[in-house]
Structure 1
């Protein structure tokens, strides 16, 4: 193996993520130039719009909150070799269940009503994720297909509910408002930022603890590293996959529950601009690190907030932010492909025995 190959194999995932992000920015600049736009002006406006004031910063954190949750949800599934593309649908499930509980008057103190709404949202999302895990383990279903299809089913069913049986008065397809006692309070008076960002950070810390310090986390990592070896060691791979999908769905459900009890204040049809799929980019940039997902979520949150400001200040399309997200995933994946090719090209050392012998 050449020196270059050795260096590539030893490259830190953090370095890969940083280089990938820089390359994504550079390539997007080239695309802007080719389209006749000034990239320096565009990024200066994005930075000003996302970090230039207290209000801009709070808006960035608001945008980052769901991305942290969905990044965590996707990452947990991926750790167990499962590609959970159903985060969006599981988030919708959690949001709808939490909204139903939150808008129902209950003889409970406000904090308990809020807690119950969040817990029910977690359970709803978790069950939606566990269903995918069950289909995978019991029938060998491809989780990419089942999660994609369940997204359509769940999202359209939620749209039906808010357009017909649960529709509040007015032209907008939405539920009634969640009662005030079941809403998350604001962190800073006069700003829209709520305690949702704190819950997101706590969720990341809990995920880190679970994956690194518990038996379940050890089993998930073992299955992710080598499924056959894990099975040989006595780990029930099917059970681990089921639990991982339950955990992943629960995080997505918590995302939806937190959204409707904070900025949403009710379930609104189409409330998500694709948070579930943006979580894939967040997890990729963070190299599947729970703490890295916090930073990656804030970075993408800043890009989204800055893009809205860019739309007001210029004629540059906000879709360039989506281009950056896609480029990040492409560049993060490229070194993994190189490593796979290098690994597949390895030859046994001289004097070694082949498995066939």
Structure 2
């Protein structure tokens, strides 16, 4: 295996010589992509992007056909967070002009579920800021989830920060299908973006949700100064955790955050990242998440040849594309929105 320092030297001479369709066929036959091959995807020349997406689409089509899963986020508690994550507009060190409010009422959470149905979303994501939820917050969310599950066929994903095993079991018993807690970046880079908790804390939270029988959702943010090797590392860490859903965020450098003004991504590299995750995780849900519109721009429809899931509407503190534009994008591709199913 190549070491971090050797990777660029060893892989670069192979640029342009990879048979990406052949690699996809090998993956379909059951062979796992190596770290070296994953890194080669990220280092591939831009002219290889169509071939990379062709291979990625072979894998995507095998497991998901032409269906696209829609997810809707509710920012159920905003700001007021003691953590210092450098990318986040809600962190303790952010001066971004964002709304700050405690946990929304149960009725407001229920109305969010009705809005998710109107937007044709199959999964409703209830997200709160903060290090971990208070017992009273878990109780309110549990009450809302029970009512949502009784009246809709939405799948429910929660993202509430660190969990105790008892809280995880409460959520599972209420009918929460999935729990999101992103690794965000590699273990090697983690302390450069956050000092108030560790990479290990995040891994432990994913494992806690899994132990309660909740489907694990965990992904990353690309564009925070990491190397291609770091992106590969987090892809394989998520493979080791055997997560079911992988949201890929592309940094939206919000004014007032420490990463304000950082702009190191381009649409072709973002497409390579999505393709790499599909080759590494052929049968997993891969979701284009925050920063989709900003970083993929006019090329965002191409991302769905690798990914099979997107958020519809706005994100936590930033605006997304109109739902109607997402629906039209999916239709123009000849794809179809995945219907809700439990």
TM-score, normalised relative to structure 2 = 0.25
Q: Whose RCO is larger (CA < 8 A, sep 6+)?
A: 1
- Structure in which a larger fraction of residues adopt strand: 2
Between structure 1 and structure 2, the one with the greater Rg is: 1
For normalisation by structure 1, the TM-score amounts to: 0.24
